[in-house]
Structure 1
Amino acid sequence: MTQRFTDKVAVVTGAGAGIGAAVARRLAAEGARVAVFDRDLPAARETARVAGGGAEAFEVDVSAPAGVRDAMAEVVERFGGIDVLVNVAGVVRYGEVPDFSEQDWDLVIGTNLTGTFLTTKYAIPAMRARGGGSIVTFASAQAFASQPLVAAYSASKGAVVSMTRTLALDHAKDNIRVNCVCPGSVETPMLQYGAELLDERDPKETMRDWGGQHPIGRLIQPEDVATVVAFLASDDASVITGASHLVDGGLLARLGV
């Protein structure tokens, strides 16, 4: 495997499981020293153990300003700086708006949108000090074509797409690139949660059906997404910024969006 991140420091949020864990493993395999952020510390520690390469776990709730600020400062102190930030942390809750609790709204927006704002806010000064860097945000195919019962989730992801464009414009002068990854249905604990909640059948069967809606005929794997993230975060993508990248197995092409 190429070593595109030798001597680089990467922060990956939501890295205790799913896509975040796959991204942390991939960046570490390519030479990065990875700060594994997750609110589930045991899960973060397991990801750091598997990733190796000096990866370390941090217990971080990305919706908590002081916690994000302090964690980023600790990464800089312990690792010497930050070169890459990958904002994977995200949650989903389901329901029509009249029945949707304010607590669930705050959880989804706080994690998916405010969390991206906070981690970016506190990573950019450290990137400036290193002469630049790369930020990869996470939205979803649902930022462009939604489904029932996900008003908060789709709102948060659409906002991340828009915020990514502005961040890219604001920080091109700092040699900081900002891109957004928009996956389709990825085989993760979040997808299983949705399958268990929304369908009375076996969740694995439901997830296979969702995968079959993609032209590629299967669920996307976390490692598939991590490959795209690693490219965007690397110098191989030096002229790519401000863009949203569908990693959706052709789903939106089928929907005609």
Structure 2
Amino acid sequence: MFSLKNKTALITGGASGIGLAISQTFAQAGAMVHILELNSEQAQQVAEQLIADGGRAEAHAVDVSNQGQVLETINQIAAKGPIHILVNNAGVSHIGTAETTTEADFDRIFRVNVKGVYNCLFATIPHFKANGGGVILNMASIAATLGLADRFAYSMSKGAVLTMTLSVAKDYLKDNIRCNCISPARVHTPFVDGFIAKSYPGQETEMFEKLSKTQPIGRMAQPSEIGALALYLCSDEAGFVTGCDYPIDGGFTRLNT
């Protein structure tokens, strides 16, 4: 079950954090993985490691906020054969309220987290239609549906991802295109470690424990757990699933009191 053999998958931000875990999981499941990543050196290193581990992968230097780059890259990939899966994972974070978020901060979050998803949808959906269908998975967040302190612009962007997911799922039912999103709570990635080290120097262990326990289950998610859910939603076994948001949050959404 959950084989992606003979499938071609595009994964934005696929060389670090959650995106890296999805790239690894999809490669292990047999997919040809195309990593679309701003950091070209990191993307190449990951692609080479996936190949060394027996998978198939290619790295592409892409700024998802640049529609021209996105169109050129995805069209080049599509010219080699059908694309079956698009994972819109690339994103950036920001801490701040409506008062402390500068216009530059807001624009940066919008360009990457919202326009970046749109650009990839815009470039990929015509290929899906031409090939008889496809699967889209967007990376949202519990911030899309819950009030989180100091996450004004980030929450805005993930709310947009959630509603874009619903819109695309509705618009392309007749084209055999499924579209879902995942909403993680806190996931233990290098970004989290860097944030703690920068914000709480000397208190890293204490703060990691404190942040872990904000999830009712008592820990952060591992990126591989997000990758496993992504694999299911992009597999043929999830063929009856579209227009859904999947919280993967250790009970945060429903069990936090």
Normalising TM by the smaller chain, what interval?
over 0.9
Per-residue deviation at 1:200?
4.5
- Name the CA distance, whole Å, in 1 between partners of 2:2 and 2:47: 18
Larger deviation: 97-106 or 165-174? 97-106
| Alpha-carbon contact 2:136-2:179 (below 8 Å) kept | yes
> Runs of 5+ in structure 1 lacking a partner?
none
Equivalent pairs, count: 254
Per-residue deviation at 1:169?
0.4
Once the two structures are superposed, what CA deviation does each residue of 1:181-231 show, in whole Å capped at 9, x if it has no partner? 000100113323433454455335423321222122111000000000000
- Within 5 A, what are the aligned runs for 1:138-157? 138-157=139-158
> TM-score scaled to structure 2, two decimals?
0.94
Per-residue deviation at 1:42?
1.1
SS at match of 2:56: coil
SS at match of 2:231: helix
Per-residue deviation at 1:103?
1.5
Distance 1:89 1:204, change over 3 A: farther
- Name the CA distance, whole Å, in 2 between partners of 1:198 and 1:161: 29
- Name the CA distance, whole Å, in 1 between partners of 2:12 and 2:48: 16
Amino acid in structure 1 at the alignment position of 2:116: G
Residue in structure 2 matched with residue 5 of structure 1 by the alignment: 4
SS at match of 1:98: coil
Residue in structure 2 matched with residue 185 of structure 1 by the alignment: 186
Amino acid in structure 2 at the alignment position of 1:59: A
Residue in structure 2 matched with residue 98 of structure 1 by the alignment: 99
SS at match of 1:114: helix
Residue in structure 2 matched with residue 41 of structure 1 by the alignment: 40
| Alpha-carbon contact 2:15-2:23 (below 8 Å) kept | no
Residue in structure 1 matched with residue 116 of structure 2 by the alignment: 115
| Alpha-carbon contact 2:2-2:231 (below 8 Å) kept | no
> TM-score scaled to structure 1, two decimals?
0.94
Distance 1:251 1:37, change over 3 A: same
| Alpha-carbon contact 2:10-2:87 (below 8 Å) kept | yes
Backbone CA RMSD of aligned residues: 1.5
- Within 5 A, what are the aligned runs for 1:235-246? 235-246=236-247
Residue in structure 1 matched with residue 78 of structure 2 by the alignment: 76
Residue in structure 1 matched with residue 126 of structure 2 by the alignment: 125
- Name the CA distance, whole Å, in 2 between partners of 1:7 and 1:153: 36
| Alpha-carbon contact 2:169-2:180 (below 8 Å) kept | yes
> Runs of 5+ in structure 2 lacking a partner?
none
- Name the CA distance, whole Å, in 2 between partners of 1:115 and 1:85: 13
SS at match of 2:172: helix
Residue in structure 2 matched with residue 216 of structure 1 by the alignment: 217
Q: Is 1:29 the equivalent of 2:28?
A: yes
| Alpha-carbon contact 1:182-1:245 (below 8 Å) kept | yes
- Within 5 A, what are the aligned runs for 1:190-209? 190-209=191-210
SS at match of 2:241: coil
Larger deviation: 91-100 or 116-125? 91-100
Amino acid in structure 2 at the alignment position of 1:84: I
After TM superposition, the runs of 4+ consecutive aligned structure 1 residues lying more than 4 A away are: none
| Alpha-carbon contact 1:85-1:136 (below 8 Å) kept | yes
- Name the CA distance, whole Å, in 2 between partners of 1:125 and 1:205: 49
SS at match of 1:215: coil
Per-residue deviation at 1:55?
0.2
